[in-house]
Amino acid sequence: MRLMLTLEEKRKLFLITPQDGQKLDFRSFFANDHPLHIEIGSGRGEFLLKSSQQNPGVNYVGIELKEKRISTILKQINTIDHQNIRLMKAYVDSELLSHVPENSINRIYIFHPDPWPKRKHHKNRLIQPVFIENLLPILSPEGSVVISTDFKDYASEIVKVFSQNSGYKSVYEEGFSREPEPGHIVTYFEIKLRKEGFDPYFMRFNKAV
């Protein structure tokens, strides 16, 4: 296959669309059974693109709702360096998760989810008890959820939500770290927020077995 593809050709090659009543067949999408990592909210794609190159033995699926961001990522993808990337244009809810086979995801990344800082809007936050409970069935026994946020109040709430679910165990004694893990990839949003004086809180919650 030639290296240069049009945006529409890339869309057909890299974009996954769940079908009603069917489980997603990731082995078919990637033509292998490598470990599968999902990023919820891929933004401009920095993490997805760099991680896929650093870890060719891992398959990555980036889930993003905004069409503009999907197009931004597609423009950067090529068939030589990013064979282990697929994208989904979707909102992550119980309906979408119902298409994901059980025990199929080794890692889920959620970087800088919208903090909805006003108290009356907290109900709109992604990390909720029902949401993380719905993630458990799709995580493999050794699976984990990796999260970062620059918003202290949200970090505290995330730690509380996960601590109240016996299906998860934090790798950090306090529930978070101010230092990133080795190999951490800095995204546009993290750079922007650090310049504004907001240093991230890093969290990882392993599936308890």
Q: What per-residue confidence (pLDDT) applies to 145?
A: 98
> Is 114 among the catalytic positions?
yes
> What element of type H or E holds 188?
helix 188-195
Q: What per-residue confidence (pLDDT) applies to 10?
A: 95
85 within 8 A of 36, measured Cβ to Cβ: no
Give the Å distances, CA to CA, from 2 to 9, 79, 110.
11, 8, 33
Q: What per-residue confidence (pLDDT) applies to 1?
A: 45
- Rounded-to-integer distance, Cα 131 and Cα 137, Å: 11
Q: What is the pLDDT along the chain (209 residues), one digit of tens a residue?
A: 445 899 999 999 999 999 888 999 999 999 999 999 999 999 999 999 999 999 999 999 999 999 999 999 999 999 999 999 999 999 999 999 999 999 999 999 999 999 988 989 999 999 999 999 999 999 999 999 999 999 999 999 999 999 999 999 999 999 999 999 998 998 888 888 889 888 999 999 999 97
Q: By CB neighbour count within 10 A (0-12 exposed, 13-18 middle, 19+ buried), where does 155 fall? A: buried
Q: What per-residue confidence (pLDDT) applies to 3?
A: 59
Q: What per-residue confidence (pLDDT) applies to 15?
A: 96
203 within 8 A of 147, measured Cβ to Cβ: yes
SS3 204: strand
Catalytic residue among 114, 150, 153, 199: 114
